[in-house]
Amino acid sequence: MTGSKGVAVGRVWWLVLALVLVSSGITAAPLWFDNPAQRQAGQELRKQVNFMAAANVSHQFNELQRLLNQEALTLRQQSELLTEAYLLIQGFNQTMASRPIGADQLGQMPLHLTSPEGSAFELATAVSQQRLIQLVIDLEPRGSDYLAARHWVEQLQQMVHLNWPRFNATRLIEPHQRHVEVEQIRVVLKLLNDYQGPVLGQEYDADLVAAVQRFQRRHGLAADGVIGPKTRSWLSMSPAVRAQRLARNILRQSHDRRWFAQEYLLVNIPDFSLRWVTPEGQRFQSRVIVGRNSRRTPRMATEMVSVVVNPSWNVPRSIVRKDLIPKIRRNGDYLAQQHFDAYDWQGSPVEKTPQQWQQASYGRFPFRLSQRPGNRNALGRYKFHLTNNQAIYLHDTPKKSLFDKPSRAFSSGCVRVQDADLLARQLVQYGDISEARFVRSRRSNATQWFKMQRPLPVYLVYWSAWMGQDHKPRYRRDLYHQEGDLDHKMTIAMGHQLSR
C-alpha cells in the first residue's frame, strides 16, 4: 500500500495468513471486519497502536498510526494495517520480555521491530476458534493500570493541537493575590481535571489554591499552594510530553513487573520511595534518598541477604577522591573528627598529624579509609546488604533532616532509608534472625552481620509516571534524563530551576 514502506512488518505474513484463512474457509470479509467480534478486536487494536505511538518507542508505531488515520482506506487496506499492528505489538512484547530490569532502553534507543515466527498461524487459529478479541487483549501491558492510563493518554492526545501556555513569570503567586497568569493556570488545571471552577478571574482564590495543591501532590511537590518555578515547570509541560511520559512508563512498569516475585522491596528512584509489597498488601513504606545525577542509583533486580548492625564504612576510592580529599585539604583534622581510620594497601594502620594529612591530600593519596561505627558513621546504625557487583546497598543515615526535602537525590548511588530501624526489625522477623542477638547488638557499638535465612527480592526501578489510586496520573521529575528527546529540554530546564 502507498506510503507504508516504513511499517511493512507483516507483508509476507499477510500472504501466509491469507492462505491459511482461505484453506480454513474463512473468506467472507477481510480479517478484522468479518463479524462484530472481529470488528471489536480491530477497534481495540487501534487503541493499542495509538497508545504505543504516544509512548514514542518506535517510529513504526507512529507511521502505522498515521496510515490507519488516512481517509478512504478500503477494508482490505485497513485489515492489512491492523494485521501489521498485531504483529508489531507482539514483536515489541517479545523484545521486552528478553530484557531484564534496567535494560528496557525505552526512551533511550528507538526500537526497530520484526514479527515473531508463527504469529500468522496463531492469528489464523484464533480467528477459526472465535477468540480473536482475547488474543488482542492479551497484548496489553499487565499489572500497571493500563486501561486507566490509556484513557488519560487518549484525553491528552486530543489536546496536542492546543497552544499550551508557558509560565515564565518569576514572582511567587500566593493565595488571594492577583496575577496575570492565574487565568491561564485555571485553564490548564481544568484541562488536566484538577479544577472544576470558572476559568475567568485573576484572583488566586481558595478553590484554585486547593486545585493547585492537588496538582502539586500529583507531581511530587510540597503541596503549599504557592506557585513558584517548580510548579510553573510542571504546568508548562505539554500534553504530548505528558502522554509520552505516562505511556512509556506504563510500558516500563509492565516490563519490570514480569520479573517480580510475590513478595519484594520496591525502590522507585524518581519517587524517592520504598515499599515492601506482599501478597496480602503493603508491609512497610518509607522515604528514601537516592543517587544524584552524577552518581546515579542503578536500576536492577537483586536480593537482600544480610542485615548489618553498627556497620563500618569502607569508603569507595571514587568517594575518597571526589568527596573526602577536598575536605581533608580544608581541614587536616577532618579524618579524626569524623572517626576515620586510614590504612596503606598492605592493610597496616597509618597515623599522621593534621598538617601531614593536608599535605598527603595533594599527592596520590595511597590510603584506604574506613569510618568506625557510631553516630557519625555515614551508614548510620544499619546496612542492608544486597547481592550485586556495583557495591549498591540500602542503609541508614545520621542526616535525618534530608528526608524532609521533596527532592532527595543526594547520595553517591546507594539508597538511604528513612525508617531504617523499623525496616531492620521487620527483616529480623522475615529473615528468621535471632531477635535476642539482634537486640543485644543494638546495645553495643560492635559491628555484627546477620544473615537472612530467607533472602528478600529487591527491585530498584525508574518509574517517573504511574496511575494513582484515584485513577489520575502521577508524575515525577526525570532525575537522570531517561525519558527521551521529546521532553529533554523540559527535563534540563526543571533541573536548573530545582538546583537554584
Each residue of 403-414: pLDDT tens digit?
Answer: 999 999 999 999
Say how far apart CA 266 and CA 476 lie, in whole Å: 16
| Whether pLDDT at 22 is above 70 | no
- Residues 124 and 266 grouped into a single domain: no
Grid coordinates representing 384?
542492608
Domain boundary among 94, 117, 140: 140
| Whether pLDDT at 491 is above 50 | no
The string of pLDDT tens digits covering residues 159-169 is: 999 999 999 88
- Name the pLDDT band for 3 (thresholds 50, 70, 90): very low
**Residue 168 included in any domain:** no
For residue 28, what pLDDT is reported? 55
For residue 314, what pLDDT is reported? 95
Cβ atoms of residues 384 and 405 within 8 Å: no
Domain boundary among 140, 172, 193: 140
For the segment 200-204, the average pLDDT, to the nearest whole number, is 95
Tell me which H or E stretch contains 493. Answer: helix 488-499
Say how far apart CA 447 and CA 374 lie, in whole Å: 10
For the segment 359-373, the average pLDDT, to the nearest whole number, is 94
Query: CATH code at 276?
Result: 2.40.440.10
| Whether pLDDT at 495 is above 60 | no
| Whether pLDDT at 270 is above 90 | yes
Q: For residue 85, which of 121, 67, 61, 114 has the smallest C-alpha distance?
A: 61
**Residue 63 included in any domain:** yes
Phi, psi for residue 460 in degrees, rounded to 5: -105, 110
CB within 8 Å of 448: residues ≥ 6 apart: 308, 309, 310, 437, 441
The string of pLDDT tens digits covering residues 146-160 is: 999 999 999 999 999
Say how far apart CA 107 and CA 239 lie, in whole Å: 17
**Residue 483 included in any domain:** no
For the segment 92-104, the average pLDDT, to the nearest whole number, is 92
Domain boundary among 97, 122, 140: 140
Q: Are strands 415-417 and 394-395 parallel, antiparallel or unpaired?
A: parallel
| Whether pLDDT at 8 is above 70 | no
For residue 250, what pLDDT is reported? 97
Q: For residue 269, which of 75, 100, 89, 479 has the smallest C-alpha distance?
A: 479
- Residues 323 and 460 grouped into a single domain: yes
**Residue 173 included in any domain:** no
DSSP 8-class letter at 288: E
Grid coordinates representing 224?
503549599
Say how far apart CA 34 and CA 49 lie, in whole Å: 21
Q: How many domains does the chain fold into?
A: 2
CB within 8 Å of 306: residues ≥ 6 apart: 384, 385, 449, 450, 451, 452
- Residues 135 and 270 grouped into a single domain: no
**Residue 404 included in any domain:** yes
Buried b (16+ CB within 10 A) or exposed e, 393-417: bbbbbeeeeebeeebbbbbbbbbbb
| Whether pLDDT at 497 is above 80 | no
Q: What is the span of the domain harbouring residue 40?
A: 11-140
Q: What pTM was estimated for this model as a whole?
A: 0.89
Q: For residue 81, which of 109, 106, 53, 56 has the smallest C-alpha distance?
A: 53
The string of pLDDT tens digits covering residues 294-307 is: 999 999 999 999 99
For residue 438, what pLDDT is reported? 95
Residue 457 three-state SS: strand
**Residue 210 included in any domain:** no
**Residue 332 included in any domain:** yes
- Residues 285 and 419 grouped into a single domain: yes
The mean predicted confidence, pLDDT, of the chain is 90
| Whether pLDDT at 309 is above 90 | yes
For the segment 436-449, the average pLDDT, to the nearest whole number, is 92
The string of pLDDT tens digits covering residues 229-265 is: 999 999 999 999 999 999 999 999 999 999 999 999 9
Q: For residue 493, which of 224, 221, 106, 232 has the smallest C-alpha distance?
A: 232
- Name the pLDDT band for 423 (thresholds 50, 70, 90): very high
Tell me which H or E stretch contains 15. Answer: helix 11-23
**Residue 175 included in any domain:** no
- Name the pLDDT band for 216 (thresholds 50, 70, 90): very high
Kindly report the length of the chain. Answer: 500
